[in-house]
Structure 1
Amino acid sequence: MLIRRDPDVLSAFLEDAAHFPGGHAAGIALPSSESEVADVLRSASAVLPIGAQSSLTGGATPMGEVLLGTSRLNRILEIGSDWARVQAGVTLADLDAALRAAGKYYPPAPTFTGAFVGGTVATNAAGAATFKYGTTRDWVRAMTVVLASGDARRIERGGAKASSLVPVPTYRMPAVPKNSAGYFAAAGMDLIDLFIGSEGTLGVITEVTLRVLPRRPALCHAFVTFADRSAALAFVAGLRRASHAVAVSAIEHMDARCLSILREDGVDRQLGVPIPDDSAIALLVTLELPAGTDAEQAFDEIGRAHDGSPPDTPLVRLCRMLDEAGVLERVEIAVPGDSARAEQLLAVREAVPASVNARVGRTKHAIDPRIAKTAADMVVPFDRVGELMSMYDEEFARRRLDAAVWGHISDGNLHPNVLPRSYSDVESGKDAIMTFGRAVIAMGGSPLAEHGVGRNPVKQALLGELYGDRGVAEMRAVKETLDPDYKLAPGVLFPRR
């Protein structure tokens, strides 16, 4: 298997979406088969598996390893009645297109559709629809993984226990919808769950069989701004309680700083999505309406929502809840079939992290190369979300840090991001994140919700806060059982020996 070592080739692969500094690689291999993956693992002393390099933790930034890219493992192998078998380098966008053509749907995908399926499995990715559908883990039926030795193993859910291969850690994971914090651990756990979320440290995933929905729902998106954050939180709480009746699958939020960034960059004007100046928070609500619901039917229901006897449908119920909250006139909606408007509303949400990451990158290159993405990914029980938001506000204000917060509010999962103006802001932001993490753990949450741990030293420290030294030592025992030489992704999850 050819390993490219040309600096001009490698330069495109030395940084992931976290702008983690210091990336350098010994070479890159782009295998197109399981056997070629095995060849790379047998010949190299240190290997970092990568997908789309959309990691927000530095986990896909090389530190001297040979990169093993999965972009050529990009075939959709087979689609069944309620499953799809794909190679690891298939993008979520390509998977969705193939499933759409078959009338099927894979719901737990994260918001970045350029991510590779293998990467989402390796990080147990989650996203907006976790509220209804859970994380990637809940949708993986089988996989093929190549171990550090080069040996390939086909693993099916229910086929073997993890304890048949490794000593299963004894720490207890927090009871929240998302927890991407090192190795999964539970009594009697399935072997497949050991590799899901292991961040490429235990094996290279080459193929995955995913569960899919046999019928694709009709999606409806509503973007709504609130002038008062407490009113928005009350509205979200009401939607959560009525989620079945209103057919809610996801609720995302963007705080006031996010909205000001969108206005600064002209995103609101480019996409035709007005953001009133008094907006304190915006929500993006996704409904899953019955398959076959079209724009004409949706607009008819919206128009009849205030009739004396309107139809009792999820869309009518949503309109009434918006009216009761006093925000019906602040809503932008994309009904089923209006893909252009749906893309605009979703693009508003995606523009927030893209704009923040771009600002971090520009500051890094213009001010100080040590500047890196300084952000957290924390989840708490929903009844503590307001408390967490207030803590973010107060701590950032006390430190005089510019910060934006967005996330999957229906899960209680919030992403605070520092917008550093100097390296001292990065250092202060790291301290703030440690403060947040300890508080989140005390609330019964996880300071590592869906992005994983990667190389980020703050996230690695939070992993220690969550499970303690003993828990991290138990993870190392798992690693050393399968990869005693620390060949795979050395420095990811915990520091190198």
Structure 2
Amino acid sequence: MTLIKPLGPELKEYVRDESRTVGHAETISFPTSEDQVRDVLRELHASGTPVTVQGARTGLAAGAVPQGGHVLNLSRMDAVLGLRRGEDGTYHLRVQSGVVLANLRKALANKSVPTNGWDEESLAALDELYADPEQFFPTDPTETSACIGGMVACNASGARSYGYGPVRPHVSALRVVLADGDVVALRRGEARAHGRSLRLVTEAGRSLSLDLPTYEMPHTKNASGYYVADDMDALDLFVGSDGTLGVVTEVELALMPAPAVVWGVSCFFETETAALDFTVAVRPALAHAVAIEYFDAGALSILRSQRESSAAFASLPAVEGRFACCVYVELDCDDEDEACAELYAIGDAMRAVGADEADTWVARTDVDRECQRFFRHAVPESVNMLIDERRRTNPAITKLGSDMSVPDERLHDVIELYRTTLAEAGLQSAAWGHIGNNHLHVNVLPRGDADFAAGKELFCSWAAEVTRMGGAVSAEHGVGKIKRGFLETMYGPEHVREMARLKRELDPAGQLGRGNLFGEELLGAMAGDAPSGAACEKGGERA
């Protein structure tokens, strides 16, 4: 009996994601095992039907939004499959792609990992894990309802990426089903490229010789296009590939010991220049910072308004009107003495830029940290509420959010770029995000159609300027469909063609993730080597 069903009106939620983009598809399936994924792909391969892979649909770049064909939704592939302990003592947890991050965290913290179907070796490793200090998976996207497969697809990161990096280094093995139903099993360190040539062997014994693109990736936080480097690990190619090279069905995650002491410090500044100078000064001074986050004047102003007008935010602590911005620092330490030393370093850095170390909120307990998390999450939620209110009179507009990063030495430059061009365009904005990585989400808040169009034009110009600064057009959300024009701005048309050729080597019919990274025109033109079209499609996340 086929798993493929018509995608009728009762399933309309599966043609959209958190980007607010809406697509269309003819059929859908909800496999629960890798064998079922293979069956679906084999059935669709003969006809060349496009396949869009979905998980929890929390993405912001429309990567899970179908453009026709079939939706392969992996949300019911949510089993924890086993555990092993490496020679160095690291625990590696094997999960299906549909496992939800929040559920995984809870299971690890409560020592309640489900063990249905586990072998004796995995059960023995679990006994050791429970006897040891608590282990955790550190990748921390804002949406904890994200699933692991989706996080792998876009190389997700989040607030704690300053200390722990994105998801890629925490993935130790993958199983990937190709478009024709064949499988590639990858374990970190076992298959590597030779220069920019990579050979993979499928479980059916087929040898695949791949030519990797020749571009150099920027030396900054980056989730823009395929990860490529000389002599790279084969596994890294599939992390961040936006569902275009294969369907990730299993992920093995390397766990870490949970920190003994976690403190959060919200530092308030009267000028943005002081906040930027503080960020530059505090980065080398802290050995245990895992997050350095930012909220600008626009974000704080909207938060103050929502606190006054919405009961949902009434419990938030008040932010004095004299403060223009906030930098939040999270510390993961071995003991309180270590945390105190870091706290003193934060105070020193504040004084050095003319700020007062008393203008801080320090959270040392779970209750205080939860209050700070509420504050951090209330900022984007307040902005979304503002936009929802405006959409009641103009449903066509929505927020436009950027996801760009630059090298350390260009932090002041990129902020100046944002401030100058936003003022010239007369646009309202609010910015927050991962300033420790020089990666802010600048959100344009349109008041009408003209603002919306101007915001999209502005993002196009930012993509070009950020590229000239040595940065990335997507730092953590992936490219998906919304930012594929930015990808050509960043790498140039010939390097994007190299990416498309690589996709064709693994997916000759261009079935998987159609519309992600490349337009159909480019993939269709590959055989004739036709030009790829305009570089910038005036994108910007609609979330």
Question: Which residue is equivalent to 1:309?
Answer: none
Question: Which residue is equivalent to 1:156?
Answer: 187
What amino acid is the match of 1:70?
A: L
Q: Distance in 2 between matches of 1:418 and 1:286?
A: 27
Alignment of 1:281 with 2:325, yes or no, is yes
Any idea what the Cα deviations from partners look like across 1:329-355, whole Å, max 9, x if unmatched? 3222221xx223212211222222333
Question: Which residue is equivalent to 1:424?
Answer: 450
Compared CA separation, residues 365 and 23, structure 1 to 2 (3 A): farther
What amino acid is the match of 1:414?
A: L
Question: Which residue is equivalent to 1:223?
Answer: 266
Q: Distance in 2 between matches of 1:201 and 1:362?
A: 36
* TM-score, scaled relative to structure 1: 0.89
What amino acid is the match of 2:405?
A: V
Q: Distance in 2 between matches of 1:89 and 1:290?
A: 33
Compared CA separation, residues 378 and 68, structure 1 to 2 (3 A): same
Q: CA deviation at 1:412?
A: 0.6
Does the 8 A contact of 1:16 with 1:58 survive in 2? yes
Identity over the aligned pairs, expressed in percent? 37
Alignment of 1:256 with 2:256, yes or no, is no
- Decide which of 356, 359, 364 is 2:383's aligned counterpart: 356
Alignment of 1:461 with 2:479, yes or no, is no
Compared CA separation, residues 238 and 431, structure 1 to 2 (3 A): same
Question: Which residue is equivalent to 1:471?
Answer: 495
What amino acid is the match of 1:130?
A: S
Any idea what the Cα deviations from partners look like across 1:377-408, whole Å, max 9, x if unmatched? 11111221122112111111111111111110
Any idea what the Cα deviations from partners look like across 1:450-493, whole Å, max 9, x if unmatched? 1111111xx21211111111101000101111111111110111
Any idea what the Cα deviations from partners look like across 1:279-323, whole Å, max 9, x if unmatched? 2111111001216x5xxx89xx86xxxxxxxxxx33344345456
Q: CA deviation at 1:256?
A: 0.7
* TM-score, scaled relative to structure 2: 0.82
Q: 5+ residue gaps in structure 2?
A: 111-129, 200-207, 522-543
- Decide which of 61, 64, 78 is 1:60's aligned counterpart: 64
Does the 8 A contact of 1:273 with 1:345 survive in 2? no
What amino acid is the match of 1:367?
A: N
Compared CA separation, residues 427 and 475, structure 1 to 2 (3 A): same
Of 4-13 and 255-264, deviating more is: 4-13
Question: Which residue is equivalent to 2:205?
Answer: none
Secondary structure of residue in 2 paired with 1:414:
strand
Q: Distance in 2 between matches of 1:359 and 1:171?
A: 41
Q: CA deviation at 1:3?
A: 3.1
Question: Which residue is equivalent to 2:285?
Answer: 242
Question: Which residue is equivalent to 2:403?
Answer: 377
Question: Which residue is equivalent to 2:212?
Answer: 168
Aligned positions of 1:90-489 closer than 5 A:
90-101=99-110, 102=130, 103-162=134-193, 163-164=198-199, 165=208, 166-176=210-220, 178-244=221-287, 247-266=288-307, 269-290=313-334, 293=336, 313-322=341-350, 326-335=355-364, 338-360=365-387, 363-364=390-391, 366-369=393-396, 371-456=397-482, 459-489=483-513
Question: Which residue is equivalent to 1:12?
Answer: 13
Q: Distance in 1 between matches of 2:485 and 2:361?
A: 41
Q: Distance in 2 between matches of 1:316 and 1:391?
A: 33
Q: CA deviation at 1:421?
A: 2.0
Does the 8 A contact of 2:313 with 2:378 survive in 1? no
Any idea what the Cα deviations from partners look like across 1:258-277, whole Å, max 9, x if unmatched? 11121222279534322111
Q: CA deviation at 1:115?
A: 1.0
Does the 8 A contact of 1:18 with 1:372 survive in 2? no
Compared CA separation, residues 141 and 133, structure 1 to 2 (3 A): same
Q: CA deviation at 1:191?
A: 1.3
What amino acid is the match of 2:516?
A: V
Question: Which residue is equivalent to 1:83?
Answer: 92
Q: Distance in 1 between matches of 2:246 and 2:315?
A: 42
Compared CA separation, residues 372 and 149, structure 1 to 2 (3 A): farther
Secondary structure of residue in 2 paired with 1:435:
helix
Q: CA deviation at 1:11?
A: 1.8
Does the 8 A contact of 1:253 with 1:282 survive in 2? yes
Any idea what the Cα deviations from partners look like across 1:214-266, whole Å, max 9, x if unmatched? 3434211112221111111122122101121xx21110001111111212222
Compared CA separation, residues 238 and 209, structure 1 to 2 (3 A): same
Does the 8 A contact of 1:221 with 1:342 survive in 2? yes
Q: Distance in 1 between matches of 2:189 and 2:255?
A: 18
What amino acid is the match of 1:263?
A: R
Of 193-202 and 442-451, deviating more is: 442-451
What amino acid is the match of 1:74?
A: D
Question: Which residue is equivalent to 1:36?
Answer: 36
Secondary structure of residue in 1 paired with 2:282:
helix
Q: CA deviation at 1:193?
A: 1.1
Q: CA deviation at 1:27?
A: 2.7
Does the 8 A contact of 2:259 with 2:333 survive in 1? no
Secondary structure of residue in 2 paired with 1:279:
coil
Q: CA deviation at 1:4?
A: 3.8
Superposition CA RMSD, Å: 2.2
Secondary structure of residue in 2 paired with 1:439:
helix
Secondary structure of residue in 2 paired with 1:406:
strand
Secondary structure of residue in 2 paired with 1:329:
coil
What amino acid is the match of 2:57?
A: Q
What amino acid is the match of 1:187?
A: D
Which contiguous aligned blocks of 4+ residues in structure 1 show a shift greater than 6 angstroms?
none
Secondary structure of residue in 1 paired with 2:400:
coil
Secondary structure of residue in 2 paired with 1:328:
coil
Compared CA separation, residues 82 and 121, structure 1 to 2 (3 A): same
Secondary structure of residue in 1 paired with 2:68:
coil
Does the 8 A contact of 1:380 with 1:443 survive in 2? yes
Q: CA deviation at 1:366?
A: 4.1
